[in-house]
Amino acid sequence: MEITGRLVADATVRTVSEDKKVTGFRLAINRRYKSQGEQKEETSYVDCSYWRTDAIAPFLTKGMIVQLYGFMTAQAWVSRDGEPMASLKFRTDEITLLSKSAKNNAEAQDGKPTQAGDKNHVLKPSKQFN
């Protein structure tokens, strides 16, 4: 499955065991549609995880547009108040950076600085993190 969206915050790295780390981030996915002739927009937020390497975390900053390949997982539980709760999470297998960081002008994965003035410049996908 493929999803594309904008990061709502910088990625974080969490240690889950002595030798395992997971990179976590949240994606906003916008959907535009017409209802009774009126243009509407709806935003869905998806929590994502990437287990392959935490080296990608510095590149995943707030405002970036990314394309992810992976699969959805569902989780259900009962809250402390006894209310049924559920969430969807996206387990990421591959990440393609489609825009530059909104936070800073990070270097492209080939080590060369990105062109700050080029609005159509797209970071090239790298096998380094996938």
pLDDT at 18: 86
Two tokens at 97?
Answer: 């950076």
Sign of CA dihedral 107, 109, 115, 118: negative
Q: Is CATH 2.40.50.140 correct for 2-97? A: yes
Would you tell me how many other CB atoms lie within 10 Å of the CB of residue 23? 24
Instruction: Write down the pTM of the prediction.
Output: 0.72
pLDDT for 32: 92
Q: Where are the domains of the chain?
A: 2-97
Please list the ranges in the chain whose pLDDT falls under 50.
105-123
User: Angle 38-26-92 (CA atoms, 0-180°, nearest 5)?
Assistant: 110
Q: Mind listing the pLDDT tens digit for each residue in 38-53? A: 999 999 999 999 999 9
User: What confidence score (pLDDT) does residue 83 get?
Assistant: 95
What is the C-alpha separation between 61 and 15, in angstroms, rounded? 19
What CA–CA distance (Å, rounded) separates 112 from 98? Answer: 16
